Amino acid sequence: MNPELSPWRLSVAPMMDWTDRHCRVFHRLVTRHTRLYTEMVTTGALLHGDVARHLDFDPVEHPLALQLGGSEPAELAACARLAERWGYDEVNLNCGCPSERVQRGAFGACLMAEPVLVADCVKAMRDAVSLPVTVKHRIGIDRGEHYDFVRDFVGTLAERGGCEVFIVHARNAWLKGLSPKENREVPPLRHEFVYRLKRDFPQLTIVLNGGVTSDAQIEQHLQQVDGVMVGREAYHHPWTMAGWDARFFGDTAAAPERDAVERAMVEYLGRIAAAGVPWTHASRHMLGLWNGTPGARHWRQVWSDHRLKNEAPATVWRLAHERAALA
């Protein structure tokens, strides 16, 4: 990778119930350089739960960021220290999730209404660790559509908290009346707000998130900002990531072959099954691998067949390709 490129040039968004450690291993088989993020982990889960269950990851996942949910500076600092001890490359604070459950915990998108508190959280984490501490947020909350709001939020976090990297979902978060899914679709996209942040804060790293569905769009956004984060498009159509290393990172090594990625994933499924982890926990993340190719639907049907869950992954792999070939 070209060392002059931003470490945040291209990344896959943190997505609850999706970007677990198995998903990230699969994504890393497709792209070597794209930055990966964990699901959001709350400070309470880390400070009072099974730390290893939440933080363990495979070394192949680097570069890897831990996303935290919380609003107490001391608790976030303690969790940041855990992230550093576990070997993560970044700690990211969630200020963008609009779910009511997250709001009840007093974190997520509702924190955008308290920029001084968020700045204090960032400063506490930055003082605790040497890792980059970043913030993922929306451009606004509820129906307010004024650029000044997100400009002042970013300015406060940069000046008071020392934050240098902002990942901006280019939609408002409506805290009442919309589900998390609707919050990803109903509030209008305003990419220009993110572009303006980069113009107003040229010294900061500004990463755009929201509504990115093609390589052409990534290229367009990279002309205006430092990086692009892709979410559901990367998950549902993972093979779109296969060309990213060459196109966006200047990697001249050969791109992976789809067959080779699948074989490597089947080997991984066999390893986790031998360790007592149901392989179906991981296989669900690769169901989009062959999207758009002949027989893909039949291939997915075999991998999704719960009646095969006690079979060896290699057996299911053979059955899937036999079924696809007959389609």
User: Beta-carbon neighbour count of residue 42 at 10 Å?
Assistant: 19
Any idea what the Cα angle at residue 209 is, between residues 288 and 181, rounded to 5°?
65
In sequence order, what are the residues at sequence separation of 6 or more whose Cβ sits closer than 8 angstroms to the Cβ of residue 64?
24, 35, 36, 37, 38, 57, 88, 89, 90
Length of the chain as a residue count? 327
Q: Which two tokens stand for residue 16?
A: 């609850």
* Cα gap 191→185, rounded to integer Å: 14
Q: How many C-alpha atoms does 253 have within 13 Å on its Cβ side?
A: 13
Question: Are 26 and 238 within 8 A, CB to CB?
Answer: yes
Strands 90-95 and 133-141: parallel
User: Dihedral angle at the C-alpha atoms of 271, 274, 277, 278, nearest 10 degrees?
Assistant: 90
Angstrom distances, CA of residue 138 to CA of 86, 110, 118, 221, 224: 28, 10, 14, 17, 18
Helix axes 313-326, 258-274, angle to 10 degrees: 150
**Catalytic residue ranges:** 97
